[in-house]
Structure 1
Amino acid sequence: MANEFPETLTIAGTDSGGGAGVMADLKTMQEREVFGTAVVVAVTAQNTLGVQDFMAVPQHLIDEQFASLAADFNIRACKTGMLADAEHVHDVVVNLKENNFGPLTVDPVMIAKGGAALLADDAVTTVRDELVPLADVLTPNLPEAERLTGLTIESSDEMVKAALALQDLGAKNIVIKGGHEATPDEASDFVLMADGRSFWLTAPRIDTVRTHGTGDTLSSCITAELAKGQDYETAIRISKDFVTAAIENTIPVGHGHGPLNHWAYGQGGAQ
């Protein structure tokens, strides 16, 4: 029968360089054996050296994309990524409230790997007040967690405090990514579950510039696993392993912050 296969949705911007955004999301979803769909919120001119330009999609076309998907697909899990500005964040929130697309993973994308701003300053408040409370899983990196909470995060204890503050904003399960932390040997993410349980996910820090799209890949892998029926903790743990493999088994693409190797996890034998 139609729509029995796990279907997912990414709501984000494109990356013409193929390493992040909608492109990374769909590659990840395909590798995790779910069918990915997309609502494109913005289009970027982008490569591994940076973001040269971007333009937000007209809101009426975003609405039409949501309506088109809702009319034909049975989406079991969804995620958000780059949402451009306050008006587009609000429009996405309205559409998410009108449509049941399953558990929502929010990747609060604010700054590209090369430093370019991907979210207007006035949109941070809209993300915090309107989008974060809808999140079943919230996956900020350290700078994003600081922007959303107003806290300074320079230690493990401060990561824990920030996760609690993000839960107070309404998000259920929190994954604070520690890749920006200054520790030389390990990259540790702090996970706070909706039921109060918490744990750390630690992997060896890999000396590489090929980490473009890491956050998109993590959040889209979580989305794929949730669509297949995995519980939240299992989905998060699988996604950490998926991203680690994708960074460890690098591919030589581009001259700057290169992309991940999205097929590495399966090639390594891990499932």
Structure 2
Amino acid sequence: MAPSTQQHLKQQKTNQTTSKNIPIVLTIAGSDSGGGAGIQADIKAMSATGSFACSVITAITSQNTLGVSAIFPIPLDHVASQLDAVFTDLNVAAVKIGMLADVSIIKVVAAKLRQYQPQHVVIDPVMVATSGDLLLKHSAISALKETLLPLADIVTPNLPEAAALTNRAVPQSEVEMNDMMADLRALGAKAVLLKGGHLETDENSNDLLITQDGFELLSAKRLFTKNTHGTGCTLSSAIASYLAQGNSLQQSVQLGKQYITGAIAHADELDIGQGHGPVHHFFAGHQDVR
């Protein structure tokens, strides 16, 4: 049984007072000017769960709680130079990958991962907008599947993203989630966390941790709040953070699920923006996560 997130965060504080070897986690993603998702959410989640966060920015978005008004992709050579700068100096224990935007960036990131071979790779395939519109062209989805997903320890799609990856309809039930498992295994990652948050009529929020030889159901009470901006970024970053600290994949996913559940449960304590606000990354208290 994995320890609770609260217990884990307290133990991290104790460990950090006796050791300077705080694990380093790299996030490769887009910037959210509103601070609720993307690079900003990743850094908060990694910090809150006890790791040191560094970043490679792939795009700059003009964004707030009401939506995205503009996207500026970072030039390809600068994405590559950021990756080289981080990997040639910092001892990166785990990498979390979010928004990559196009085929060229996907190929550069995949090449750098093969070059530097970090121990753990977590991919949150940011592919589908809340509206249901694809954020990646079909050519980019193909590149993601062919060059990047096979390098991952775990991929964390929500239901629309899993549908886009497998060319299937978006699941409308847990039975249909189960029916996707073979196709998700075929993507080549060591594991897939299929997130069931979109099944809003279900009493619980159930996720499937799918490995090459089995699966596990992870369940938490469904929490009703409009403040869920950045949940996917936050969960995948927490999983990467826990992997960097030496936890097994199963433990990291369990701890990540507990962390995001707590962050959502405390989201309404914040009053950020007029739309869909962020989750509360530091719900455990700043004194526990320094």
TM-score by length of 2: 0.87
Letter of the 2:178 counterpart? V
CA 1:217 to 1:27, structure 2 compared with 1: closer, same or farther past 3 Å?
same
Q: Structure 1's 265 and 174: CA in aligned 2 closer, same or farther, altered over 3 A?
A: farther
Structure 1: 4+ residue segments shifted above 3 A: 112-118
Q: Deviations over 1:192-221 (max 9, x none)?
A: 124x23211111222211000000000000
Which residue does the alignment assign to 1:102? 119
- Structure 1 counterpart SS, 2:32: coil
Give the root-mean-square deviation of aligned CA atoms. Answer: 1.9
2:225 matches 1:208: yes
Tell me, in whole angstroms, the C-alpha distance in 2 between the residues paired with 1:118 and 1:36.
26
SS at match of 1:39: strand
**Counterpart for residue 164 of structure 1:** 182
Give the equivalent residue in structure 2 for 1:36. Answer: 53
Q: 2-side partners of 1:116 and 1:8: how far apart? A: 30
Tell me how far 1:182 sits from its aligned partner: 3.5
> Secondary structure, in 3 states, of the residue corresponding to 1:14?
strand
Tell whether 2:210 aligns with 1:192: yes
Are 1:90 and 2:107 matched, yes or no?
yes
Secondary structure of 1:229's partner? coil
List alignment gaps of at least 5 residues for structure 1: none
Contact 2:44–2:281 under 8 Å retained in 1? yes
CA separation in 2, counterparts of 1:157 and 1:221?
28
Cα distance in structure 2, aligned partners of 1:115 and 1:15 = 19
Structure 2: distance between partners of 1:97 and 1:158: 34
How far apart in 2 are the matches of 1:154 and 1:138? 20
Query: How many percent identity over aligned positions?
Result: 39
Q: Distance in 1 between matches of 2:20 and 2:153?
A: 23
Cα distance change on mapping 1:110 and 1:85 into 2, 3 Å: same
What is the aligned counterpart of 2:84 among 34, 52, 67? 67
Point out where structure 2 has 5 or more consecutive residues left out of the alignment: 1-18
For residues 18-69 of structure 1, the C-alpha deviation after alignment (integer angstroms, 9 at most, x for no partner) is 0000000000010111111111111100001001010111111011111111
Query: Counterparts of 1:129 and 1:148 in 2: how far apart (Å)?
Result: 11
2:279 aligned with 1:263, yes or no? no
Within 2, Cα distance between the matches of 1:231 and 1:64? 31
Give the superposition deviation at 1:160.
2.1
Aligned with residue 150 of structure 1, among 147, 164, 167: 167
Q: In structure 2, how many angstroms separate the alpha carbons of the residues matched to 1:82 and 1:163? A: 24
Structure 2 Cα separation of the partners of residues 104 and 78 of structure 1: 5
Partner of 1:228: 245
Tell me the distance in 2 between the aligned counterparts of 1:27 and 1:255.
Answer: 21
Residues 192/115 of structure 1: CA separation in 2 closer, same or farther (3 Å cut)? closer
* Whole-Å separation in 2 of the counterparts to 1:224 and 1:7: 8
Whole-angstrom distance in 2 between the partners of 1:101 and 1:232: 15
Secondary structure, aligned partner of 1:151: coil
SS in 2 for 1:264: coil
CA–CA separation in structure 2 for the residues paired with 1:266 and 1:228: 20
Letter in 2 for 1:186: N
How many pairs align? 266
**Equivalence for 1:128:** 145
C-alpha distance 199-265 of structure 1, shift in aligned 2 (>3 A): farther
